[in-house]
Amino acid sequence: MRLFMLGFAVSYILPCLVRGQGSENQSHNSWPIQSFKSSSARPPSLLVEKTGKTESGLLSFSPFGWKCQECSSFVIISDENELIWQSALGTFSSFNPQTLYGNQVLVYWTGTILPRPWGMGIGQIEILDSTYNNIYTVSISGKEQNLVPAAGLDASKLPSFIDIHEGTITPENTILVTAYNTTEYDLTAFGGPADGWMHDCVLYELDIKTNRVLHRWSALEHIDAYAVPYGDLKYPLGDMGRNRTHPYDFTHINSVDKFRDGSYLISSRHTCAVYRVAADGTILWVLQGQGGKSSFVHRPGVSFCFQHDARIYRDSGTIITISLFNNDNDFGTPPRVSTALFITLDTVQMTAVVERELTDPTESLFSPAMGNVQPLPHGNSLVGYGFLPYLKEYDAAGNVVMRVQWGYINAASAYRASRTKWIGKPTTPPAVYACYDGRNTQVFMSWNGSTEHKSWSVMAGDEPWRMAKRKRVPSSGFETMCEVIGGLRYVQVEPEGDNVSPVNSSIVKVVNC
């Protein structure tokens, strides 16, 4: 068995290291990074082990380096480690391909990350179309919503207060987000001061086009309805809550989903519970993972804590199945294996039964934060391990069919990972690099984000205004390389495909290899 948690690892080497062209074998302390001649993209190489049939589609996640928060990017990549698209670097999170008005979009959060002890962010949601151009920016005005930031931040300098955790587009083409509000609160029931400070987590449903607030729900306004006795809280008060800079985060809502009847499924990490909240704000039921009082009678195996990504998997009215990533760990807690859970709830008999638990018997992972579960169209499930740089795909029987690692433990993470049949049609031009090796000209060409081009035409000339087609080659992965006999002075390339609009690269001068 392989055991992994933070800096602890039993030595193990995956049998298949799949590398893209130009992958760099760097020092022992640096994960292999792919590099290219024609592009500045530098995605991590994937360690891939396949043991069964995976579903189709591309992998997407947002690699995040703990030593450089502004060095995260979005990556769409194949199981074969062939890059499709990498974004520019920035402070990003919660990257997730979704559907808006029937079209594929990319949704992500950007802003200011406040690490522990806050564990949240203040920013906005950006939505890109299939050309990778921004079509919507979703924001919440702190002034309009009377929101007060923590960590000593100046509210007047914050254009938006959306938290890092959520950005789900609903079937009604609205978006679910959360925001934090630093609020004065009597913390004596928690063992804190009467003049304390609480971090109130607020759910918003927004109109994407206008940012108009369609629905608002405050956790603090419904604190008396929570089923967790204060003594059972899994997140200790400690020194938090004594000032506005470090408010106490009682709930830490990290995912929101919407039922067909307009009610909401809310995951509260710090109470280790999932709630169904009616449109009028009433808490309809509580599925308590550990401690506290659950609305349901739990059958064996229904236990979770510090969970993420609670989603409605199946809703037949009175019988509901939810999926969630059961971290079962926080920083500093005794290690417990993190798993994916599918829990079926009978809301008439009020019973909770584990329908499926996904865990790898050969490799135990203990993830103290982040993570997700994505049910796939044909029965498989993709599980992202959040704080740990791993993702795995399981089949319908619970067998691991693919293991992927893309970074060293305690050095990289990704809030969520997904598989999607993404079609990318960038409007930016392709790129080319050409050099002469003394006999022939080597031409390297790539088009960051494109999934549709199938071949390349290579043009060359002695002058930039005298370009003629010299060669046509099939596309081969992210970067295609071909040789043209003899020395060339100037080179230009054009991608070709049935669904590709004519677009040429810039004309580049050939250099010596």
User: pLDDT tens digit string along 229-262?
Assistant: 555 677 888 899 999 999 999 899 999 999 999 9
Read out DSSP for 386-418?
Answer: TTSSEEEEE-TTS-EEEEEE-S-TTTEE-S-EE
Q: Has residue 17 got a pLDDT over 70?
A: no
Q: What is the pTM of this model?
A: 0.92
The reply to whether 16 falls in a domain is: no
> Which of 12-26, 76-90, 229-243, 430-444 is the least confident region?
12-26
Residue 24 lies in a domain: no
Residue found by looking up tokens 């498989």 in the block: 380
The confidence score (pLDDT) of residue 66 equals: 60
pLDDT at 402: 98
Number of separate domains in the chain: 2
For 454-506, what is each residue's pLDDT tens digit? 999 999 999 999 999 999 999 999 999 999 999 999 999 999 999 898 899 99
Residues 131 and 216 in one domain: yes
Mean pLDDT of the chain: 91
5 band by pLDDT with thresholds 50, 70 and 90: very low
Q: CATH number for the domain including 474?
A: 2.60.40
pLDDT at position 115 = 87
Residue 143 pairs in a beta bridge with: none
Same domain? 471 vs 341:
no
Separation of CA 91 from chain center: 13
Does a structural domain hold residue 252? Answer: yes
Looking at the DSSP bridge assignments, the partners of residue 47 are: 17, 405
The answer on 219 and 255 residing in a single domain is yes
Task: Characterize the bridge pairing of strands 412-413 and 400-405.
Answer: unpaired
Same structural domain, 472 and 330: no
Alpha-carbon gap, residue 491 to 478, rounded angstroms: 19
Average pLDDT over residues 354-382: 97
377 shares its domain with 450: no
Domain extent, residue 477, equals 431-512
Share of the chain above pLDDT 90, in %: 82
Residues 388 and 500 in one domain: no
Q: Which residues contact 157 (CB under 8 A, 6 or more apart)?
A: none
pLDDT at 4: 34
- Mean pLDDT in residue range 223-234: 64
Whether residue 397 is found in the same domain as residue 248: yes
Q: Which one-letter amino acid corresponds to residue 85?
A: W
CATH number at residue 232: 2.120.10.80
pLDDT of residue 292: 80
H or E element, residue 120: strand 120-128
pLDDT in tens, 191-208: 899 999 999 999 999 999
Q: Are residues 184 and 237 in the same domain?
A: yes
Boundary-marking domain end, from 387, 420, 453? 420
User: What pLDDT was estimated at residue 305?
Assistant: 96
pLDDT for the residue numbered 387: 94
**Does 32 fall in a domain?**
no
